[in-house]
Amino acid sequence: MPIDLILIAAAVGVVAGVVSGLFGVGGGTVLVPLFLVLFVGTDIPIDYIMHFAVGSAFVAVLGNSLMSGRQHFKRGAVSFDVIHWAAPSLFVGVIAGAWIAAVVSSQTLVYLFSGFMLFTAFRMWKKVPASKEAPRLSVSPFRVAVATAMGGVSAFFGIGGGALMVPWFNSIGLSAHSSVGTSGALGAAVALGGVLGFWVFGSMPAVTVDYATGFIYWPMAIPVLISSSIAVKYGVSLAHKMSPLILKRLFSAYLVLVAGTLVGVF
């Protein structure tokens, strides 16, 4: 892997880290498109390029989520009433999703990912009002099912699930900051399941790529992990100092642009 591509990946990792801390997402919506572009021309088979992009992104998402959760926890913005039932549900869901994603074609994953980015853009553009009701944070079969499904969706796209969790948590009574902070912390459960799933299930196809384990390409995953994890705290700081509405809408425009580009290229 040329050093210039590694440096580009590290630079984009900084952006992913800030986005992760600011919005309570894992950064996969930034990293997966990056990896798709950078993996073209490498020895990664085109039929599995999306799988490697998602698996490698999960490594950075894990680091981002741990750092984001820690920073938000220090500011009292993490709800353990939610984490104790959502974390195991998300983990189970992402393992199941990784197993399914391993047998889906790369082109199908690209189209699904692009559709998800458009959905995410709409949710981030739309200002979700904070709930005025008392928080209803206890576990229920329905909430376990929803969290499990979110884990499965996250596995397909290499994300921490924040784009889905933040609006949901806000609707059940968490404040905006607590929704972002709790989502950021739970992204670690999603990413851990994603790393394990794409490592194990990615080892089953007869695909041999140097410096890769399963569907994880370490020469790109490591520099992004380092740079994005360092940058997370700056995003968290912004989230607690300003209204992110304008940035959310700029990010929504970015998602639409990337989704359209990916569909056109692949």
pLDDT in tens, 175-201: 878 888 898 899 899 999 999 999 998
The reported pLDDT for the residue numbered 1 is: 64
- Check pLDDT > 60 for residue 266: no
- Cα separation, 18 vs 149, in Å, equals 26
46, with CB counted inside 10 A (0-12, 13-18, 19+), is exposed
First-to-final CA distance of the chain: 22
Report the percentage of the chain scoring pLDDT > 90.
Answer: 26
Pairing of strands 216-217, 212-213: antiparallel
- Check pLDDT > 80 for residue 263: no
Name the β-bridge partners of 216: 213
- Cα separation, 17 vs 262, in Å, equals 22
Mean pLDDT of the chain: 83
- Cα separation, 177 vs 23, in Å, equals 9
Taking only the tens place, the pLDDT of each residue in 36-48 is 888 887 889 988 9
Domain boundaries, the chain: 3-265
Report the percentage of the chain scoring pLDDT > 70.
Answer: 91
Taking only the tens place, the pLDDT of each residue in 58-69 is 999 998 889 888
Taking only the tens place, the pLDDT of each residue in 116-145 is 778 877 877 776 555 555 556 778 899 999
Taking only the tens place, the pLDDT of each residue in 212-222 is 999 999 999 99
12, with CB counted inside 10 A (0-12, 13-18, 19+), is buried
